[in-house]
Homo-oligomer: A and B are copies of this chain.
Amino acid sequence: MTAERPTVALVAQRAGVSVASVSRVLNGLPAGAATREKVERAAAELGYRPNVFARSLKVRRSQQLALAVADVGNPVYVEMMRAIEDEARGSGYRLLVSSTGGRSDDTLALLDSLSSGYADGLLLSPVRVDDTLVEALRRVSFPAVVIGTIPRSVPLDNVRANSAGGVRLALEHLHARGRRRIAFLNGPSDTVPGSARRRAFERTARTLGLDPAPELRIEAGDFTLGEGRKAAEILLERTLPDAVLGGNDLLAIATMQVLTERGLRIPDDVAVVGMDDTELAGVTSPALTSVDLGAHERGRTAARLLLARLTDPAREVQRVAVQPTLTVRDSS
């Protein structure tokens, strides 16, 4: 097992050519047919595999892309990840996935280690963005694209969801269905999506003339099922809305469960709408109406922006917004 790994030198010796020729053949560069044949045979016989570090050291590229997401357990990131992996693989890059756990210092630590060059580029989807992170992002010296909303002072390619548009879509839909006491079970408002969605909710609620009662607003400790349940119980303890908008699908699904446990009918008594339109939305019962914020498209677009920047580091910074769509199902 600890057999010496064959190197270009060994292949060259066996093929009776120079290492330069071996390298050329193996990289598909112009070479004589005879040389090509000898090298390929020798490489196959020896089971030669190039040493990626030697190659990377020389060409200064790793063919690796890093992806940092807040929570690998959230289906919306899984969706995004799949799109990114497809693009990356299609262009010959491996994808390194790290879960930063939503804390901004984990993200910082990752940025730091990225500086050691083990990846050629970074896709970053931070959930909390504080001044320190913004400052670090402004100094980033390698290709990176941010998935999510960041200040314009950060000179990085960026693809963002239109949370505000999504909230509006959801509320207009519920309004059209005659709902007026619409509760908002949001995620933490110290996160970027949480605060964006909160502002959008307030604004749209006012425009539509919805019940402004503060007891209709509640914030879960995190964008998870568990925290969603807790928040839903508190909400229903203090008031009964005629509809609930969840800050994401997980929060909406948690709400549906608590409603069902209390014997309330969905959507008859309370309509429920989620955000992200994850895979889960289609399989709950009733199936969950949800706003698709374009996770798949955001992932794909971000990956493409990164690949483009890798090719042309000098290209102009792009900021792309992906528009939301509403999928109405049985929960509303």
Contact = CB atoms under 8 A, between A and B. Distances in A.
B283 A49 contact: no
A279 B226 contact: yes
A115 B279 CA distance: 35
6 contacts: A72-B72, A94-B113, A225-B280, A254-B283, A260-B285, A261-B286
Interface of A: 1-3, 5, 49-54, 56-57, 62, 64, 72-73, 75, 78, 81-82, 85, 94-99, 113, 115-118, 141, 225-226, 229, 254, 257-258, 260-261, 279-280, 282-286, 313
Q: DSSP majority for the A interface? A: mixed
Nearest to A5: B117
B279 A52 contact: no
B85 A78 contact: no
Contact of A117 (B53, B64, B113, B115): B53
A179 to B, nearest CB: 23
Contacts of A96: 94, 96-97
Nearest to A250: B283
Contact of A73 (B1, B75, B282): B75
A73 to B, nearest CB: 5
Contacts of A50: 116
Contacts of A260: 260, 285
A261 B283 CA distance: 11
Contact of A116 (B51, B97, B257): B51
Most buried by B among A1, A75, A85, A113: A1
A81 B85 contact: no
Given A57-B57, A94-B98, 9 more contacts: A1-B141, A5-B117, A53-B53, A72-B78, A72-B82, A94-B118, A257-B284, A257-B285, A258-B285
Contacts of A117: 5, 49, 51-53
A73 B2 CA distance: 36
Contacts of A3: 141
Contacts of A82: 72, 99
A2 B313 contact: yes
Contacts of A78: 72-73
A64 B113 CA distance: 13
Contact of A226 (B2, B141, B283, B284): B283
A116 B52 contact: yes
Contacts of A116: 49-52
A328 to B, nearest CB: 18
A82 to B, nearest CB: 8
